[in-house]
Amino acid sequence: MSIVERTAHDPYPEFTAGLRRLTGIDLDQYKRPQMERRIRTWITARHGDDDLLAELRRLRADDEELDAFLDRMTINVSQLWRNPEQWERIGRDVLPDLRAAGPARPLRIWSAGCSYGAEAYTLAAHVLDAGPGVRAEIVGTDIDNRVVARARRGIFSDADARDAPRDALLRHFEQTADGTWAARPALRALVRFEQGDLLRVRPRREHHDLILCRNTVIYFTEEVRDALHERLVEALRPGGYLIVGATERVARAADLGLEPTHPFTYRKVG
């Protein structure tokens, strides 16, 4: 469709409003050019044209179409030990600091935008490896209830494990007959998963010691991303850490009361 035609009748707002009513997912909070291109390319590959309103009708009528659409739109890519250098810092510096300067209760850790749980289970492995002095409750949340159900199963493919250090992988996961990796009970005991939209949730003030929000805000508009980071900082106790993805940053971090301690790692001053 040409720009002129699109200006004459712009179906995108009607599409996003319809999808919001159908699923609760608000695409207006995401960067339109990338999201619209992604949707139109996907519809064209599947149905031969990029008629958004015809697609909305299909999504309403056909659960399989809706599943396939959400799979494409929510971009659930993840893996165990994703960005190993970040995990090295978490294990070497962040968890020991939280243990030394933190509360006596178990650490409250949040994997915000957890996808199918690889990040939360990797966190749990680092908590166990940090020794008996570190205890934690890890909660993973994601907007997509299908990945949340997968996260609860705690089973990962060989590809998911490709960057995991072999000794740690064997310590915390059991390889099953079909070659997948199943989280061991001690790991599973530390994690739980909930469905939730980061753009709607109102987290408790100063509740968390560590929040990971990695590779989840990249498709949000800048305003939405910055407002989310602000809410995440409010949810951190002073001395707690916020860790973002390896291509991301927190805008005006100092104004929010954050000091960078390592690349992509911020500590709330206090």
Ligand X SMILES: C[S@@+](CC[C@H](N)C(=O)[O-])C[C@H]1O[C@@H](n2cnc3c(N)ncnc32)[C@H](O)[C@@H]1O
Write down the least CB distance from residue 217 to ligand X, Å. 8
Among 1, 17, 66, 75, binds ligand X (CB under 6 A): 75
Among 216, 242, 244, 266, binds ligand X (CB under 6 A): 216
Write down the least CB distance from residue 51 to ligand X, Å. 25
Give yes or no for a contact between 142 and 111, defined as CB atoms under 8 angstroms apart.
no
Give yes or no for a contact between 258 and 267, defined as CB atoms under 8 angstroms apart.
yes
Write down the least CB distance from residue 221 to ligand X, Å. 12
Q: Looking at residues 96 to 115 of the shown chain, list those that interact with ligand X (rule: CB under 6 A).
A: 113-115
Give yes or no for a contact between 26 and 20, defined as CB atoms under 8 angstroms apart.
yes
What are phi and psi for residue 110, nearest 5 degrees? -125, 125
Q: Report how far residue 48's alpha carbon sits from residue 237's, in angstroms, rounded to the nearest whole number.
A: 51
Residue 35, amino acid: M
Per CB under 6 A, 215 contacts ligand X = yes
Q: Looking at residues 173 to 202 of the shown chain, list those that interact with ligand X (rule: CB under 6 A).
A: 197-199
Q: Which residues pair with 183 in a beta bridge?
A: 173
Strands 173-175, 181-183: pairing kind: antiparallel
Instruction: Name which of 56 and 111 has its Cβ closer to ligand X.
Output: 111
**Which residue, among 120, 122, 124, 96, has the nearest Cα to 241 in the 3D structure?**
96
Per CB under 6 A, 16 contacts ligand X = no
Instruction: Name which of 99 and 111 has its Cβ closer to ligand X.
Output: 111
Q: Which residues pair with 211 in a beta bridge?
A: 110, 242
Instruction: Name which of 211 and 256 has its Cβ closer to ligand X.
Output: 211
* Other beta carbons within 10 Å of 103: 12
Among 74, 127, 181, 244, binds ligand X (CB under 6 A): 74
Q: Report how far residue 146's alpha carbon sits from residue 266's, in angstroms, rounded to the nearest whole number.
A: 31
Q: Looking at residues 117 to 156 of the shown chain, list those that interact with ligand X (rule: CB under 6 A).
A: 118-119, 142-144, 147
Q: Report how far residue 32's alpha carbon sits from residue 18's, in angstroms, rounded to the nearest whole number.
A: 16
Instruction: Name which of 99 and 172 has its Cβ closer to ligand X.
Output: 172
Instruction: Name which of 161 and 198 has its Cβ closer to ligand X.
Output: 198
Per CB under 6 A, 68 contacts ligand X = no
Write down the least CB distance from residue 231 to ligand X, Å. 12
Binding residues for ligand X (CB under 6 A): 74-78, 82, 113-115, 118-119, 142-144, 147, 197-199, 214-216, 245
